[in-house]
Amino acid sequence: MASFSIEGFVGNGSLKELLPKLLEEGWDDVPTLKVMNSEDMDDLGMTRPQKDGLEIRSYLHDRGLMQYGDKLESSGKCLPELLSISTVDLSSQFGMKRGHIARFMDRTSACGIDPLPASYSLPARKRRTIPSRNNSMYTSELSSVNSRKLQSGTKSPGRSSAAYDLSLEQSMASFKIKEGHVFKGIVAAMPAEPRACGCVQPPEIVENVAPYSVIENISIQKLTPEYKIGVERLVKTRTPPMKASELWREKPAILLCIRRPGCIMCRAEAHQLYSKKPIFDALGVQLFAIIHEHIESEVKDFWPRYWGGVVLFDRGMEFFKALGGGKLLKDKFISGFLFNPRAIANYKRAKAMGVDQNFKGEGEIKGGLFIVGKGKSGIAYQFIERNFGDWAPLAEVVEICTHFQNQQINQLESTKSFQEDQQLGF
């Protein structure tokens, strides 16, 4: 699984000299850089080798093959040409391993990307057409989403509204909830699997969302900043504790509660969620990861390789207690993993994504995910890790975040209508 370090993404190729300009224009993290299209490239004045290099590296990043980025780019070939090379030549010319060749040649799947239905349409948005990216292997992912500009929700000079509308529409296309899907509501969890032929019962989980008052005053500490080009790896000076409510005072927030940063399943979940950062940027939703145990070496291994957002330390484990209705949700390795078919399936899913792992730290405390609205609007969604390695379904997470955006649009329209009525004397 490829790192979210942008220095590692560009390597020693033609994009390296472009880093200062990318930072200036807001293309300052890997997920956002990967959704650049031909129009954005032209705006930046990218050369043909730089365009080809970005396409090659985006393709390799999706498949966890970034170690071949410099060699493939230096060949002077574009991505379609590289994909037409024989397996023998890939091995002899670029030193590609047999298993990596199979992953490289597989154009239908990408490491860590869920094949969800592509029928999502944004409400109250007019469909437009925009030129597709030349020689691109992607459809929904490689669209024009500029993180910095989309967060403001305003059109900036030199950027077409058509590019904005369709890019967001395409990026969200993969997350439409299927017809007939029963939305799980406020509290969600995966089903409990029979363990040891029914002899071992899974731990009970709460049915009601945690009260907002339980989380608003939790004391947290910032361990890492949001990853950008050239940012320091860790917060050098110890930051003072802060109230959790400061996180979502201005914008909604997704809080990913990590059971253990070295866990293969936790790393895979964090990676697949953060890889969709451009979508959440467009919806005006922030991303935070929360850990309950501070081991500096573990944080360094976790950030920004598997997670490029802010990492927070919850010393009192209060968010984890909130997930369990006031007490920590815990499970034993033997009963919760070895005797649990769903947990083993979750492990195999993460293993197939090429994630490394270690066994440092406490790993029995269950994690989960919160989506909290802006200000004091409360907890909109709470997902509980019932089985080791359960992930909050991305379709549900995006759907909840879309509601936030719809509410904001409705509020703006109501305010505008009121102001117009006032001007007309109504």
Catalytic residues, by residue number, are: 263, 266
Q: Which two tokens stand for residue 173?
A: 């296309």
Q: Are 66 and 9 in contact (CB under 8 A)?
A: yes
For 119, other C-beta atoms within 10 Å of its C-beta total: 12
Q: What is the dihedral of CA 13, 14, 20, 25, to 10 degrees?
A: -120
Please, which residues bridge with residue 371 across strands?
254, 381
Q: Measuring CA to CA, how many Å separate 321 from each of 93, 265, 266, 420? A: 54, 21, 18, 48
Residues 6+ apart with CB under 8 A from 413: none
For 217, other C-beta atoms within 10 Å of its C-beta total: 10
Please, which residues bridge with residue 258 across strands?
291
Please, which residues bridge with residue 188 across strands?
383
d(CA 305, CA 299): 10
Q: Is the dihedral of CA 273, 277, 280, 284 positive or negative?
A: positive
